[in-house]
Amino acid sequence: MYKHVVAIGFISMLMIFANLSKAEVDESFRQRIHQQDQQGYGEDDVKVEISLGREIAARILGKYPRLDDERLTRYVTLVGKSLALNSNRTELDYHFAVLDTEQVNAYSAPGGYIFVTKGAMELMGDEAELAAVLAHEISHVTERHIVKELGIHSEDVSATGSIGQILGGAGGSASIAFTQVVDKATAILFETGFHQQDELDADRVGTILLATTGYDPLALQRYLKKVHAHKDEYAQSINTTHPPSQQRVDTLAQLIQDEKLNKGEYSIAQVRFAEHVSFN
């Protein structure tokens, strides 16, 4: 009972914090984001996914330190959690952090671990753009892009060892196989990137999630244009591992038109963003 009360209180706090305008969105559109195909994944699959994500998150933090700013981290977490409440995988406990690097990027690990860099946030002009980047990364998680790419399934890992061995980090073939999967997943994040179709899917699902939460669905388009124009070498690396920016912008424009997302009233929250985000 106590945990239930705390959860309800936290959800209420998120909604009060967000203070977003209610989007006039078609009900069938709202249902689609909650009715993505979740068949074929059970409790053990989720446990393995979370364990995998925890290890990948540790690799990310080993490469880029976490920014030591509790107030900013709390702000990013509140924005991220408000999005996660509207995602189609609310069984996950999402974690958010800002990475202390000028690189313009964001990362997601299976199980709900989401990271955005200081450099990426410096290009943002409002809370909707922050939410757009977080929604894109959340969508990589909800669509299980890494999980599907690497064929991670509890029944497969059980062939080399028990779920308990894997989650407990025991030695043997199960641990070796698990480490190899973590290596491959980390390579996707830092080197090869997701499949271009996965990136387009994350744009699509993320924009729907953005609008469902009440944020301006044009925010991701705005931000992509900023990244494309940015001359920093790190920002340019995004353009080499993702579909061409113009293709992404055009695809999003078509989505917004098809789903009639341009007819709602949405939040940008520029003032609140400026109050919480400053690196001077």
pLDDT of residue 73: 97
pLDDT of residue 17: 52
Q: Give the neighbor-by-neighbor strand order of the sheet with 95-99.
A: 95-99, 113-117, 106-109
pLDDT at 120 > cutoff 90: yes
Task: Let me know: does 258 contact 15? Beta carbons within 8 Å.
Answer: no
- Which pTM was predicted? 0.83
pLDDT at 236 > cutoff 80: no
**Model confidence pLDDT, tens digit, residues 163-221:** 455 555 555 666 777 888 899 999 999 999 999 999 999 999 999 999 999 999 999 99
Per-residue confidence at 161, pLDDT binned at 50, 70, 90? Answer: very low
Closest by CA to 44, choosing from 139, 164, 185, 144, is 164
Task: Let me know: does 136 contact 166? Beta carbons within 8 Å.
Answer: no
pLDDT at 36 > cutoff 50: no
Helix residue ranges per DSSP H, 123-242: 127-142, 145-149, 154-157, 163-168, 173-187, 196-213, 219-229, 233-241
Task: Considering only residues 79 and 163, tell me which one the structure prediction assigns the higher pLDDT.
Answer: 79
pLDDT of residue 180: 86
CA angle 102-55-165, nearest 5°? 180
Instruction: Find the mean pLDDT for residues 249-277.
Output: 93
Per-residue confidence at 109, pLDDT binned at 50, 70, 90? Answer: very high
Task: Considering only residues 27 and 77, tell me which one the structure prediction assigns the higher pLDDT.
Answer: 77
Rounded Cα distance between 39 and 21, Å, is 33
pLDDT of residue 35: 47
Instruction: Find the mean pLDDT for residues 46-70.
Output: 94
Per-residue confidence at 45, pLDDT binned at 50, 70, 90? Answer: confident
The average confidence (pLDDT) of the chain is 82
Closest by CA to 132, choosing from 68, 225, 194, is 225
**Model confidence pLDDT, tens digit, residues 25-34:** 544 544 544 4
